[in-house]
């Protein structure tokens, strides 16, 4: 919930580059309070970091990524598998755009400021994101 590999929320872009050895490309079409970034070479595919004032606040995993959570959930897994793995700790919410076709499967860590959301469509995980609750709740990237 707080990171991926050696990258954790709260790190600066420079710290991310130091621990990964990879250059980070920061897209400048948003405000300094919210920018999207990714490894310059685009690998691993489907991995994006949301930055606020130069610090990682959210990690997004989108298709075609093969990245999985520590619990072994990845894109393409079923909603039923997520519910089995996380049990009562998952809260099912209606997807804001897909209505009854999809859900948000929300897991809140003991630390109230961290959140993990799996998005589903027709019972399959289509993406997931984690990090600070405020930014993880943003529906459309920085909005």
How many Å apart are CA 27 and CA 7, to the nearest integer?
Answer: 19
Residues 106 and 117: beta-carbon distance below 8 Å: yes
Domain parsing of the chain, residue ranges: 3-136
DSSP for 19-65, written as a single string: HH---EEE--SS-TTSEEEEETT--STTEEEEEETTEEEEEEE-TT-
Q: Hey, what are 60's tokens?
A: 């997004």
- At residue 70, the 3 state secondary structure works out as coil
- The residue with tokens 């072994």 is 72
pLDDT of residue 141: 83
Q: pLDDT confidence of 140, banded at 50, 70, 90?
A: confident
Mean local confidence (pLDDT), 105-131: 93
Of the ranges 36-40, 87-91, 124-128, 137-141, the best mean pLDDT one: 124-128
How many Å apart are CA 39 and CA 44, to the nearest integer?
Answer: 8
Q: What is the pTM of this model?
A: 0.93
pLDDT of residue 40: 87
Q: pLDDT confidence of 14, banded at 50, 70, 90?
A: very high
- The residue with tokens 């009854």 is 100
CATH pick for 3-136 out of 2.160.20, 1.10.287, 2.60.460, 3.40.50 = 2.60.460
Q: Label the pairing between strands 90-95 and 7-8.
A: unpaired
Residue 30: pLDDT over 70: no
């Amino acid at each position: 919930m707080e990171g991926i590999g050696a990258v954790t929320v709260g790190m600066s872009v420079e710290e991310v580059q130091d621990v990964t050895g990879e250059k980070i490309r920061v897209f400048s079409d948003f405000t300094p309070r919210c920018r999207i970034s990714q490894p310059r070479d685009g690998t691993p595919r489907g991995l994006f970091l949301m930055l606020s004032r130069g610090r990682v606040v959210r990690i997004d995993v989108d298709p075609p990524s093969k990245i999985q959570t520590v619990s072994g959930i990845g894109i393409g897994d079923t909603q039923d598998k997520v519910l089995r793995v996380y049990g009562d700790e998952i809260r099912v919410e209606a997807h804001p755009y897909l209505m009854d076709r999809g859900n948000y499967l929300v897991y809140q860590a003991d630390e109230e400021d961290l959140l993990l959301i799996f998005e589903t469509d027709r019972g399959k995980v289509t993406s997931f994101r984690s990090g600070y609750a405020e930014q993880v709740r943003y529906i459309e990237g920085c909005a």
